[in-house]
Amino acid sequence: MEAETSTFMGDLLGGRLGVDAFARYTEQLWFVYRALEGAAAERLADDPVAGPFLRPELLRTAALERDLAHLRGPGWRAGAAPLPATAAYAARVEECARTWPGGYVAHHYTRYLGDLSGGQIIRDKAERTWGFPRKGDGVRFYVFEGVPNPAAFKRTYRELLDGVRADDLERQRIVDECKRAFALNTAVFQALGREFPLSA
């Protein structure tokens, strides 16, 4: 499972796939982040469990839309379509946002902290591979302007996680949902790998 994930990303970042594959990946992220940052998530602002995690400096949807306009042109929305794996991922995020704040936190943690960490490697490779301006259009998703010190931010975030008011059973459910989020993300990479196979 992980090998297939690394195959698509490895091929993408190794310059073995075209910018169209990067654009398609960016498009899939947009569907997931719309679920993470949409109306259901906004209703969690005052929730004692999820509310503290909703930080404006993390919001990515607008940056993704700007990247997609650069990658696909101003009419990009007309052709945007989620892969079935992406639709399933986004649906699970929305379900958690509507019904289970702890589960929403699991998806929030899995996505945002992953993007703060590994995303910088992706941005650097994309800039060099396809000539995007440094931290500019095409890779704005990976630029957290409101997070000047990612290491300190991640420490603060983990302190929030440690402070979540939940009993042991609920904490285990949240851990399990983190694993589910990882599996859902892996399924998206697998689907992208099938859509963009390297020619023999």
Tokens 């010190």, residue?
A: 149
Q: Is the residue at 144 inside a domain? A: yes
Q: Is the residue at 200 inside a domain? A: no
Token reading at 65: 């839309």
For the chain, what is the largest distance between any 2 Cα atoms, rounded to a whole number of angstroms?
53
Q: Is the residue at 148 inside a domain? A: yes
Token reading at 53: 């995690």
Domain with 98 in it: 2-195
What's the pTM value of the predicted model, to 2 decimals? 0.94
Q: Is the residue at 143 inside a domain? A: yes
Given a contact cutoff of 8 angstroms between Cβ atoms, the answer to whether 181 and 110 are in contact is yes
Number of domains in the chain: 1
In this structure, what DSSP letter does residue 197 have?
A: P
How big is the chain by its Cα radius of gyration, in Å?
17
pLDDT tens for the 200 residues of the chain, in order: 454 456 899 899 899 999 999 999 999 999 999 999 998 888 999 999 999 999 999 999 999 999 999 999 999 999 999 999 999 999 999 999 999 999 999 999 999 999 998 888 999 999 999 999 999 999 999 999 999 999 999 999 999 999 998 999 999 999 999 999 999 999 999 999 999 998 54
